[in-house]
Amino acid sequence: MASIAEPIAKPASRFRFILDRRDVLGAVFVAPAILYVLLLVGVPLLLSIYYSVSAYTIYNPSWHFVGLANFAQIVENPDFLRTLSNTFIFTFGSQFLGLVLGKFGALLLLRPFPGRKIVRALIILPWAVPIALATVAWQWMFDSLYSVINWSMIALGVIDRSDAPNWLGNPHLAMLCVIVVNAWRFFPFAIVIFLAGITAVPQDVIDAATVDGAGFWRRNYQIIVPMILPIVTIGLIFGIVFTFTDLSIVFLMTMGGPVGATSVLGFEGFQVGILSGDVSHGAAISLFMLPVLFVVVIFMLRFIKRREI
């Protein structure tokens, strides 16, 4: 009689059930990701570290070791210092603006209103639209001649045609513009983070605060925000890391101008290392982000740990 679960007759090969072992199967599944990171992130990183301590340029591709001389040179360059401070202003300005927009956006989206689902879908758009497309649209809005913003303000009588601002031509306004565009791109992400956090706060806690006499602001800033701070901080770390290393908006909208007013580390590294061919200095500029980000991330993770509830 044939049995349904007949034991395997022939002696199985040693590797026949190899994939049934958890540790082996796990390694097989993880391997592509690890290979990807090693080959496409690890190798270039090591390469750029070597470039930064060599005298490599595309005109003279020597592997000659120069120690920290490249770093010493860029730190002495006032343009670089300005770029560094621009990067901080750009990063923290846009993150702050994005968080504020995100918080209020999330509060609005928590309330039921007709068409909420459509608004929720639309609000993700800035994040989903290809950045080049979005930046071109913003560029038109900030254009010195055809600016929609200026046109509207003139039409409304807020300003006179003669003193319409040249958004991308004025160093301060140009920085404001790139910050606004980046915040616009970041705030849907912030809304998602805040929505996730606020939804996770137990209703009982919010109700208790209401009955205990807390009004809207106290409830938000003494109860809800402290409770979701760990989640928000994680979101902020992502935001900071991405913004600090980003060059796309600056590259597409201002090219670092006017006169370097909006130049950021990523853009400067690209400019020097790739466009000008001074690979070693470009690498040094780019690598400068690493310790800065490292310190920021460590600081924030420690902060979360302390706030853990």
Task: Name the residue nearer to another protein (CB basis): 232 or 264.
Answer: 232
- Mask for 208-227, x = binds another protein (CB under 8 A): xxxxxxxx--x---xx--xx
CA distances from 223 to 47, 103, 229, 237 (A): 48, 14, 10, 22
302 counts as binding another protein under rule CB under 8 A? no
For residues 227 and 249, which CB has a smaller minimum distance to another protein in the complex? 227
How many separate helices (H) and strands (E) can be counted in the chain?
A: 16, 0
**What is d(CA 142, CA 149) in angstroms, rounded to the nearest whole number?**
7
Binding-residue pattern over the window 227 to 246 for another protein, x denoting contact by CB under 8 A: x-------------------
| Contact criterion met (CB below 8 Å) for 102 and 255 | no
Contact 111, 199 (CB under 8 A): no
Q: Does 205 bind another protein (CB under 8 A)?
A: yes
Is 119 one of the binding residues for another protein (CB under 8 A)?
no
Alpha-carbon dihedral angle through residues 175, 178, 184, 187, given to the nearest 10 degrees: -70
303 binding another protein? (CB under 8 A): no
Q: Does 16 bind another protein (CB under 8 A)?
A: no
Supply the minimum distance, in Å, between the C-beta of residue 300 and another protein: 17
SS3 193: helix
Q: Is 79 in the site for another protein (CB under 8 A)?
A: no
Nearer to another protein, 37 or 110 (CB): 110
Q: Under the criterion CB under 8 A, does residue 114 sit at the interface with another protein?
A: no
- At closest approach, how far in Å is the CB of 210 from another protein? 5
* Maximum Cα–Cα distance across the chain: 100
304 touching another protein, by CB under 8 A: no
- In the complex, the smallest distance separating the C-beta of residue 170 from another protein, rounded to whole angstroms, is 43
Nearest to 246 by CA among 187, 286, 210: 286
Q: Which of 192, 223, 200, 219 lies closest to 103, judged by CA?
A: 192
Q: Which is nearer to another protein, 76 or 204 (CB)?
A: 204
Q: Is 298 in the site for another protein (CB under 8 A)?
A: no
Residue 309 has a CB neighbour count (10 Å cut-off) of: 6
Using CB under 8 A as the binding rule, whether residue 198 contacts another protein is answered as no
Which residues contribute to the site for another protein (CB under 8 A)?
Answer: 202, 204-215, 218, 222-223, 226-227, 307, 309
